[in-house]
Amino acid sequence: MAEQDVSFKVEDLFSVKGKVVVVTGGGSGLGKAIAEGFAINGAKVYISGRRKEVLDVAAKQIGGDIHMRGDVQTKEGCQKIVGAIKEREDHIDTLINCAGVSSPWRVKATAHNDPDQVENLLINGLIEEDFDRSNQINVSGVYFLTVNFIPLLRKAADPNVCVIASVAGISNQRTMGSLSYGVSKAATVHLAKLLAGRLHPMKIRVNTICPGIFPSEMTGVASGKHEYKITHPAEKAALRSTAGRPGRPEEIVGPVLLLSSAGGGYMNCALLTVDGGRLMGVSINDGIRMPEDTYTSVWSLLKQIK
């Protein structure tokens, strides 16, 4: 028999008060917004990132009194982050794997149906280093940080891990981002599923969020606390979503808080697309346009019926 554990009041249902939370990539973009979402709701938040000066600014802006520097690009870097937190905490409740990187194409293609341009793009647009860097941070970093946090997670009442992936990992995009980014995020999505399965005996929940176009350092240039001037390609891609705009900070913070609260306590191995309908837009608008005589329409069908 399952009995009600908390009231249906919003402040109880989605409370994260008193939780110990670690957010990677917490110095900017989505990670920074997520860190603030936890901090202002009473959680004790640790943020990590490679750039100390960025973390310092973020900590001041979100009002957090704890920040640290850490590089999830290597196993050793992940272990240092875990070691530093072990010195201060006997457990953590939530780990948010938000750190990510994208390696842009080194050459451009202006016409994605031009065989010569596409050939040049694919042969000369990426090098091994681009795949290595994307995989080290987006995939290996998620794995090594999560598994090294297992001892601290196991001591929590409701331990949970949230992996921030991307719709690029589950869609076939041509003009947004590079191929190495999409490949690494596809691996991230599957990694989260495998981790959920492996951590099942320990009752550690693992869920994945795939954001669409959100203002961040990947899609634009910072112009304020959570404001970014997004690039032209990202702006156009956002227009093709149902929402017709980029996501707002609260629209990524909300789902993350849900997964970390009593309201999301029954969610495990879930994949949420938080993209304003962008994934749907990719499938209906961004496909390869074929010759007109290969398409059917309502009018052509009516003519056949007559």
The pLDDT tens digits for 48-89 are 888 888 888 888 888 866 777 788 999 999 999 999 999 999
CA angle 59, 10, 158 (to 5 degrees): 70
Exactly one of 32, 44, 140, 181 is catalytic; name it: 181
Confidence class for position 218, pLDDT limits 50, 70, 90: low
pLDDT tens digits, 236-285: 878 888 888 899 999 999 999 999 999 999 999 999 999 999 888 777 76
Q: Is 185 a catalytic residue?
A: yes
Exactly one of 15, 102, 134, 166 is catalytic; name it: 166
The CATH code belonging to domain 10-305 is 3.40.50.720
What's the pLDDT at 228? 57
pLDDT tens digits, 181-192: 999 999 999 999
**Average pLDDT over every residue of 131-143:** 95
Q: Is 103 a catalytic residue?
A: no
What is the C-alpha to C-alpha distance for residues 127 and 139, in angstroms, rounded to an integer? 18
pTM of the model: 0.89
Exactly one of 102, 134, 185, 241 is catalytic; name it: 185
What is the C-alpha to C-alpha distance for residues 252 and 212, in angstroms, rounded to an integer? 10
Q: Is 166 a catalytic residue?
A: yes
pLDDT tens digits, 77-126: 999 999 999 999 999 999 999 999 888 899 988 888 899 999 999 999 99
What's the pLDDT at 44? 94
Structural domain boundaries of the chain?
10-305
CA proximity to 226, closest of 35, 90, 41, 52: 35
